[in-house]
């Protein structure tokens, strides 16, 4: 399931904004070790490196194309190609940052307890995850795939809601001082079928990877039709896409 850096960066400003706001909410630190889990193209990792220039910053991602792009564009960071499930630090980490990545992983209780255990005495875990599973962006393709006319690999690859209730994340990151909030961004998209273009760079990527040309073409037309009804463009051609995200900043104590 390969990532396409160019497709992902097509909405770079909109995808980056929540990550920048998460960085801004991280408390004052004097970190020595920082890790960005799911660093992607490295745009946010480089911002972290600029904020804490004295720290050793590592970017972790499992996509060869993303790591290659990041290493080419941002040379001041140590890039590692490894899955988050297989990653563990050699020493306690002062800041573990993850923007729009952990929702791809299963068993959040084990995951968040493990990440909390990697923090230094006053280390910080800062996480942002999409929280819009009931939105048409997700419901429309899921209903289409549930009609039984699709190949099983494609039908079973639709991403599901892995997020838990906020109080559980608070519990799983103890002992720490936890701040959580949820923000809905009303994003302005332009162009032809912009919602389809948005989701094909993220949530529908694994579905499309399991489809042949004919199946993909049929699926694409059905999704586009549904998205046009759910997100009709304004008279000026702009489309508003509400997108909610869950934020967590936990400081060890």
pTM for this entry: 0.89
Tokens read off for 183: 């923000």
Place of tokens 């297989």: 86
Residue 220: its pLDDT value, please? 97
- Residues 56 and 43: their CA atoms lie apart, in Å, by 16
Specify the pLDDT at position 182: 97
Residues in the chain: 253
Residue 200 CB neighbours (<10 A) = 18
In this structure, what DSSP letter does residue 10 have? G
CB neighbour list of residue 88: distance below 8 Å, 6 or more residues apart: 118
How many CB atoms are closer than 10 A to CB 75?
10
Domain spans of the chain, in order of start: 5-252
DSSP element (H, E) containing 37: strand 33-37
pLDDT recorded at residue 12: 56
Backbone CA torsion sign across 28, 29, 30, 33? negative
Q: Say if residues 217 and 173 touch (Cβ distance below 8 Å).
A: no
The predicted pLDDT at position 9 comes to 45
Pair 185, 14: CB distance under 8 Å: yes
Q: Are 110 and 168 in contact (CB under 8 A)?
A: no
Rounded-to-integer distance, Cα 218 and Cα 201, Å: 18
How far out from the chain centre does Cα 186 lie? 17
The whole-angstrom separation of Cα 145 and Cα 206 is 13
What CATH number does the domain located at 5-252 have? 3.40.50.150
- Which residues have C-beta within 8 Å of that of residue 15, sequence separation ≥ 6? 8, 9, 100
pLDDT (tens, 9 = 90+) of the chain, 253 residues, equals 444 544 444 445 767 889 999 999 999 999 999 999 999 999 999 999 999 999 999 999 999 998 999 999 898 899 999 999 999 999 999 999 999 999 999 999 999 999 999 999 999 999 999 999 999 999 999 999 999 899 999 999 888 889 999 999 999 999 999 999 999 999 999 999 999 999 998 889 889 999 999 999 999 999 999 999 999 999 999 999 999 999 999 999 9
């Amino acid at each position: 399931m390969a990532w396409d850096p160019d497709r992902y960066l097509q909405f770079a400003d909109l995808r980056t904004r929540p990550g920048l706001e998460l960085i801004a909410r991280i408390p004052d630190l004097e970190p020595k070790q920082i890790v960005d889990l799911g660093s992607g193209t490295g745009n946010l990792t480089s911002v972290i490196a600029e904020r804490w220039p004295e720290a050793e910053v590592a970017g972790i991602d499992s996509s060869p194309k993303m790591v290659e792009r990041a290493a080419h564009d941002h040379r001041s960071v140590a890039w590692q190609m490894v899955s988050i499930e297989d990653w563990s630090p050699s020493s306690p980490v002062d800041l573990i940052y993850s923007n729009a990545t952990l929702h791809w992983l299963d068993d959040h209780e084990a995951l968040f307890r493990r990440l909390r255990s990697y923090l230094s005495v006053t280390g910080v875990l800062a996480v942002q995850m999409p929280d819009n599973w009931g939105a048409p962006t997700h419901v429309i393709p899921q209903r289409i795939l549930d009609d039984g006319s699709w190949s099983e690999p494609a039908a079973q690859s639709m991403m599901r809601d892995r997020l838990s209730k906020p109080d559980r994340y608070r519990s799983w990151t103890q002992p720490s001082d936890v701040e959580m909030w949820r923000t809905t961004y009303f994003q302005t998209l332009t162009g032809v079928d912009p919602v389809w273009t948005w989701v094909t760079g993220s949530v529908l990527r694994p579905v499309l990877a399991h489809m042949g040309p004919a199946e993909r073409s049929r699926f694409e037309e059905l999704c586009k039709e549904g998205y046009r009804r759910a997100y009709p463009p304004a008279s000026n051609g702009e489309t508003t896409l509400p997108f909610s995200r869950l934020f967590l900043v936990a400081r060890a104590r």
